[in-house]
Chain A
Amino acid sequence: MSHSDTIPLHSTSQSDIDEIENLINSNPSSVLPARPPSPPRASIPISSAPIPPPAFIPSNLPAPTNPKTAPVPSVSSAAPKPPLPPRPSGPGGNISASGFGSPPNTLTEPVWDTVKRDLSRIVSNLKLVVFPNPFREDPGKALRDWDLWGPFFFIVFLGLTLSWSASVKKSEVFAVAFALLAAGAVILTLNVLLLGGHIIFFQSLSLLGYCLFPLDIGALICMLKDNVLVKVVVVAVTLAWSSWAAYPFMSSAVNPRRKALALYPVLLMYVSVGFLIIAID
């Protein structure tokens, strides 16, 4: 009936077509109970018949049972297919593309694909914000594809590093570092908005989080090497790097007469974090 369709149907339209065909065939009492509910995978059964279904013994009954049994192996063989994309060949690929009637769904892709996509976005945002690149002077282009995973990782990493380096009150150190950075990013953004500047709230949070990356490196080096002079030098260098990374974005967001008022709190936050890094031993 509708099994030989090659046009991918929406998942609900298949059952509608089946119902209409049943009404046209005008044998409502016997057909409806025999039809298993809804599966759009009813379009696949003949082509996937050569693949043995995992828990179903193929019956040697004649053809009339085919329409009834055929959807069942397709259901059982279609169900494991979406989470196992390497296993099927053509039919499996068709299932994920045509069975749901939409392009590959991010809900059904493997976890590693999602993680890899987010990691590559973090790396590209990092390269845009922290390292020199030609788009830096234009803050609109600099972080168009903002995300909050990167800042989250960097803040937690900094808190953990400081907590590891501390010899007493470890949990209080982590709490102070995390609260300072998270609340600090929000307050700095609010400060720019209150001074009448034009920034996007989450883009600014994202940017301030990414600019913590040099301080993360500095904290890691200070954890490994315990000399006070080395610590001061490393923290000074990474502090300058972080401030240089955040400067164009913050200064272009406000009126030039208020530039220093917007930049000073950023400097204050990074200096206080740098001081925490030096002083924790």
Chain B
Amino acid sequence: MDESSSNLPTSHLLGSVPAVVSEGKAATNQEDGDAQQSTNNWKGVFSISSYTQYFNIDTDILLSRLISSLYPISGDFFSKIDANPDLYGLVWISTTLVFVIASLGNCATYLMHRRSDHGTSWTFDVSYINVAACSIYGYSLIVPLAYYFLLRYLGSNASLIRFWCLWGYSLFIFILSSFLLVIPVEFLRWTIILLSGGLSASFVALNLRSYIQESEITVVVISAFVLQMGLAIFIKMWFFA
């Protein structure tokens, strides 16, 4: 990995931002050496190299994590991500979900409009993008944060990055089901959203339960399940009504 990245034609360019380039190289060199330890290369809030440790992921690993998010029963997600939790999944899955539900929601209203043949013409509703961005980003950032603080308060050893990773990957199934939600049959839409919501919520709940070993957190697990189902129903009712 180092050989190929140092042979890139851009690595010798003049005028590059020297701090970023050299620190990026230093961080990746350090990562290779300390791959098994939990490294903490925190160089400050405003230095990019302190965040590269959370994006240390390859395409094939990412794809395997995405596939495993579709199978909630195994419950071993945390063991898969334990050595290398990544935030790439959280950022780009939630961004993709925002775009997909905003655009497909507009498609769905267009198709319903065509079917019922209203007098007024259909217009693209730009506010879908705003609502989608606020709700999805808010949910995926704040809910894991809340659970982190709650579980820390209850005394168990929670890790914020792993929670963000879990909730990020749990949103992947909504992207797939959004494509199916365009079909303008109401009964089918409710079936699809309840199914995908159930899968996603059980993914979150089962993995959370296997991560935390104590018994008094059953309420926590149930509430995580309910919240994820609530998100699914909100998506259906706001965007695909």
**Interfacial residues, chain A to chain B (CB-CB below 8 A):** 138-140, 166-169, 172-173, 176, 190-191, 193-201, 252-253, 255-261, 264-265, 268, 271-272, 275, 279-281
From B123, which residue of chain A is reached at the shortest CB distance? Answer: A168
Choose, from B54-62, B146-154, B205-213, B216-224, the stretch at the interface. Answer: B54-62
| A176-B126 in contact given A139-B9, A194-B48, A272-B99 (Cβ < 8 Å) | yes
From A281, which residue of chain B is reached at the shortest CB distance? Answer: B124
B contact residues around A275 at 8 Å (CB): 99, 103
From B88, which residue of chain A is reached at the shortest CB distance? Answer: A261
Chain A CB within 8 A of B64 CB:
no
**Interfacial residues, chain B to chain A (CB-CB below 8 A):** 1, 4-5, 8-13, 15-17, 20-21, 24-25, 27-28, 48, 51-52, 54-60, 62, 88, 91-92, 95-96, 99, 103, 106, 123-124, 126-127, 129-130
- Determine whether the beta carbon of B123 is less than 8 Å from that of A268: no
- Determine whether the beta carbon of A279 is less than 8 Å from that of B106: yes
Give CA–CA (A229, B51) in the complex, Å: 44
The contact of B59 among A197, A199, A259, by CB within 8 Å, is A259
From A166, which residue of chain B is reached at the shortest CB distance? Answer: B124
Q: List 30 A-B contacts (CB under 8 A).
A: A139-B10, A140-B13, A166-B124, A168-B123, A172-B127, A173-B126, A190-B48, A191-B91, A193-B52, A194-B52, A195-B52, A195-B88, A196-B27, A196-B28, A196-B52, A198-B10, A199-B10, A200-B15, A201-B20, A252-B8, A253-B8, A255-B4, A258-B57, A261-B58, A261-B59, A261-B62, A265-B95, A268-B96, A268-B99, A279-B124
Give CA–CA (A224, B51) in the complex, Å: 45
The distance from the CB of A202 to the nearest CB of chain B, in whole angstroms, is: 8
- Determine whether the beta carbon of B16 is less than 8 Å from that of A176: no
Give CA–CA (A253, B103) in the complex, Å: 31
- Determine whether the beta carbon of A200 is less than 8 Å from that of B51: no
The distance from the CB of A25 to the nearest CB of chain B, in whole angstroms, is: 53
Give CA–CA (A58, B60) in the complex, Å: 86
- Determine whether the beta carbon of A193 is less than 8 Å from that of B20: yes
B contact residues around A191 at 8 Å (CB): 91
Give CA–CA (A199, B228) in the complex, Å: 38
Give CA–CA (A281, B113) in the complex, Å: 15
The contact of B5 among A167, A198, A272, by CB within 8 Å, is A198
A contact residues around B16 at 8 Å (CB): 198, 200
The distance from the CB of B96 to the nearest CB of chain A, in whole angstroms, is: 6
Give CA–CA (A190, B55) in the complex, Å: 11
Query: Which residue among B10, B88, B96 has the maximum number of chain A CB atoms within 10 Å of its CB?
Result: B10
- Determine whether the beta carbon of B126 is less than 8 Å from that of A172: yes
From A177, which residue of chain B is reached at the shortest CB distance? Answer: B126
Give CA–CA (A167, B123) in the complex, Å: 8
Give CA–CA (A268, B96) in the complex, Å: 7
A contact residues around B17 at 8 Å (CB): 200-201
Give CA–CA (A16, B56) in the complex, Å: 63
B contact residues around A264 at 8 Å (CB): 92
| A193-B48 in contact given A198-B11, A253-B10, A261-B62 (Cβ < 8 Å) | yes
- Determine whether the beta carbon of B123 is less than 8 Å from that of A252: no
